[in-house]
A and B are shown apart, each in its own frame.
Chain A
Amino acid sequence: MSLSSALSIAQSALLSTSRQTNVVTRNVADASNPDYSRRIAQVVSNAPGARMVVVQRAVDQQLFRQNLSALSAWSGQSILSSGLDRLQLAVNGVDNAGSASTAIGKLHNALQLYATTPSNPNVGATVIDAARQAVRSLNSGTEAIQAFRADIDSQIATSVGELNQLLAQFESVNKAIVAGTRTGTDVSDALDKRDALLKKIAEHVPVTTHLRADNDMVITTTGGVTMFETVARPVSFTPSPAYAPGMAGATVYIDNVPVAGSTGEASGKLAGLLQLRDGASVTMQAQLDEIARGLIGAFAETAPPLPDAAGLFTWSGAPGVPGTLVNGLAGQISINAAFDPDQGGNVNLLRDGGANGAAYVANTGGTASFADRLIALGDRLDQPMTFHPAAGITAAASVTAYSANAIGWLENARQQATTSANTKEALAARTAEALSNATGVNIDMEMSLMLDLEHTYQASARLLSTVDEMLKTLLNAV
């Protein structure tokens, strides 16, 4: 009686040991999988000598949530920072060499040289060249910004597509978990999968999660919009194929609620992209437009009481001079053909005035070394004018100072985004490490457990054989 009971206990010990070995093996196999949570084999005795192995999954909800929000912040900030880097390079060039500010500086210098030798049309032609540079910088800046917006727009569309896919996968995994929990099967693998999906979703949108009965999970954005509740909610967005200055981008809807664009720090890839498309690039476009307006105004021909008329720089509304912010002016500005020798124009008009009719002639004597107008043009580049506050920088400044401030504005935004991205990256790395420490696998520990199990197994096997021998001895005696 007692011998056979000893035999069955040893048998059950062998069984539970092999189950535990199974868990250890599984843990070791997935040791380097960042989405894997350690399984813990717990031995529960339900009757004297009878043992059951229950598999548990290491969880740390607190750390997991921290990691999710750090992931959102990091992915938003890194998108923002790399986007601003791209924008800076595309619009201002390396070391700001292609910026409007540099071009205006060169124009100013050429003007100064021309003012010293006004009788020399070759020197005048260098002014036209410098002006052409400024126009090119503004035109290509506008193109780069709008191409950038269109590119970001398509990235938003990709991000929305991925998000929908992730939510659909989440739905099926969640369903499996709920069904498994109800029937009492081991759902650890599905839980791992759900956590991995959640991490991916958090990269796009910052999320909050709630657990309900039967391990059913509800996802809302941090703003409170439901993204998943029993079924995935749709995320919708209509991309625009091309962008023009002043054109507003389409809104992203989650569960038919519009996602508001953020300012300052962006959390989640989607917020970062929206901020790039509708924030920084729009402001930069406005700044370029205002610089263009400043240039047209500074080189305008004046003859009170006649209205000012566009001079060296002209635009679609010429001969008038734009009085306030005009969307896309930086893309329209061009060199007045009347001045440009390449287009059959006359450089001397710059010195003499009169591109808009005899009333605007400043050099009434027609003399070759008349420098007053050239000097006045140089002065006008340094005179303060009023800029539109929508462009985000000081309202009253000269066009030269304004173009430099535009660079300062962008670099400031870039600096903040990069510093913040670095901090968030460190935070994401640290929370991931902490989470991995809390829920990950330590191979050494598993191996030492393995040794224990080995011993237990050996002991149990030894018990079996001993009992066997005892039984044999007993049977032989009979």
Chain B
Amino acid sequence: MKAVSVSSAAISNAMRYSQTRMQVDLVKAQKEMDSGRVADTGLALGARSAQAVNFHRDLDRLNALVDSNALVSARLKSTQDSLGQIVSVTQDLVNALTVAVAGDSPDSVTAKSGSTMLQSLTTILNSSMNGEYLFAGTNTDVRPVEDYLDPASPAKAAFDAAFHARFGFTKDDPAAADISAADIESFITDLVEPQFLGAGWEANWSNATDQTIVSRIALNETTPASVSANNEGLRKAAMAAVLAYEAFSGNLGEEAKSAVARRAQALAGEAIADLGQLQSQTGIIQNRVSEASTRINTQIDLFERHIIDLEGVDPYEAANRVNDLMAHIQTSFALTARIQQLSLLNYLT
């Protein structure tokens, strides 16, 4: 009696389960073909989703680092340019002083070259980028140096006070002509030097901090990325300019003037050497930043490839899958229709 056992319900429902599965797969394959990524990364990767999430996040961070490195590079480039300008104005001063030492130029010209140098130095040191003063150390919202030629300048007042304290009269006093070379030299060493190379610089001249801006340039690398106006080369350059300006704008005698000029010339020379070193240090940092960016870009490429390895699908494969599935679904529709017609009832009259 029960020879074969297949029920009519089973026959008509035979395709139903596989039909729904195929349709679900078709939707997935279509999505994958469109996006080039697996339809549901979480389901496809499971526990490895954490890896994919980490890759995505690191990729974002690396891109952010490249952006921030561009800012750091711009700052360093401006710093480098400014240092170059300072070297060139200091060089001008050295030239003027060389002529002055030989006694071949009028005082006013030498004094003028001193004051020009001061003006340029102040302007350059006070240059800013993105609203941050370049040479301010970390104190970037305050102008690093005040104008020495301003009558209200505390630096100028301190210099005049020191002169008066040492000699009992101002440099414009006729008595100044009698100051000996030895006296003026000891004045420079004892009273002027501390104002520039000692504590007086930060008290009267500079608002900058010794600490410079530190920036992160790679995932695990930070670097100082600015130059402070408190750098020794800059102090020496300022001192040379002030000496030239003050000595040649007062009433000092020839002997004293030439002693000051020699001292200023030597200082300016040292300043140029120091600034050169500073420039090369800055150059090294610039190089580090650009190398870090290059390295990060390589990493970005690598990470993108990893992400594609994890989440990507072969679009040709996806396209083939869509075609296969469509063919299968059509076959199964056709079969269902034929099976429905297949009934003994059609032959019973």
Total B residues in contact with A, Cβ cutoff 8 Å: 58
Interface residues of A in 419-444 (CB under 8 A from B): 426, 429, 433, 436-444
A409 within 8 A of B: yes
Q: In whole angstroms, what is the CA distance A418 to B43 when docked?
A: 8
A404 surroundings in chain B (CB, below 8 A): 50, 53-54, 57
A101 within 8 A of B: yes
Q: In whole angstroms, what is the CA distance A20 to B307 when docked?
A: 69
- B1-13 CB contact bits vs A (8 Å, 1 = yes)? 1101111111011
A95 B41 Cβ-Cβ under 8 A: yes
Total A residues in contact with B, Cβ cutoff 8 Å: 64
Interface of B is mostly: helix
Interface residues of A in 100-117 (CB under 8 A from B): 101-102, 104-106, 108-109, 112-113, 115-117
Q: In whole angstroms, what is the CA distance A99 to B302 when docked?
A: 25
B79 within 8 A of A: no
A-B contact count (CB 8 A): 178
Q: In whole angstroms, what is the CA distance A393 to B1 when docked?
A: 61
A386 within 8 A of B: no
Q: In whole angstroms, what is the CA distance A433 to B141 when docked?
A: 80
B140 A369 Cβ-Cβ under 8 A: yes
B43 surroundings in chain A (CB, below 8 A): 411, 414-415, 418
B42 A113 Cβ-Cβ under 8 A: no
A109 B60 Cβ-Cβ under 8 A: yes
Q: In whole angstroms, what is the CA distance A438 to B64 when docked?
A: 66
Interface residues of B in 1-48 (CB under 8 A from A): 1-2, 4-10, 12-14, 17, 41-48
Interface of A is mostly: helix
A441 B131 Cβ-Cβ under 8 A: no
Closest-CB distance, B34 to chain A (whole angstroms): 15
Q: In whole angstroms, what is the CA distance A96 to B216 when docked?
A: 28
Which one of A88, A113, A368 lies within 8 Å of B141 (CB-CB)? Answer: A368
B7 A437 Cβ-Cβ under 8 A: yes
Closest-CB distance, A328 to chain B (whole angstroms): 24
Binds A, one of B155-163, B177-185, B189-197, B340-348: B340-348
Closest-CB distance, A288 to chain B (whole angstroms): 15
A101 B53 Cβ-Cβ under 8 A: yes
Closest-CB distance, B60 to chain A (whole angstroms): 6
Instruction: A38-B7, A415-B43, A418-B43 are known; give 19 further A-B pairs, CB within 8 A.
Output: A88-B42, A105-B56, A105-B61, A117-B71, A119-B131, A120-B131, A367-B209, A367-B211, A369-B139, A404-B54, A407-B49, A408-B53, A411-B43, A411-B46, A411-B49, A415-B46, A438-B5, A443-B344, A447-B345
Give the 10 A-B CB pairs with smallest separation, nearest first. Answer: A408-B50, A440-B7, A415-B46, A412-B47, A411-B49, A105-B57, A411-B42, A368-B141, A367-B138, A109-B64
8 A-B pairs within 8 Å (CB atoms) are namely: A112-B61, A113-B64, A116-B215, A367-B138, A367-B209, A368-B142, A370-B138, A375-B216
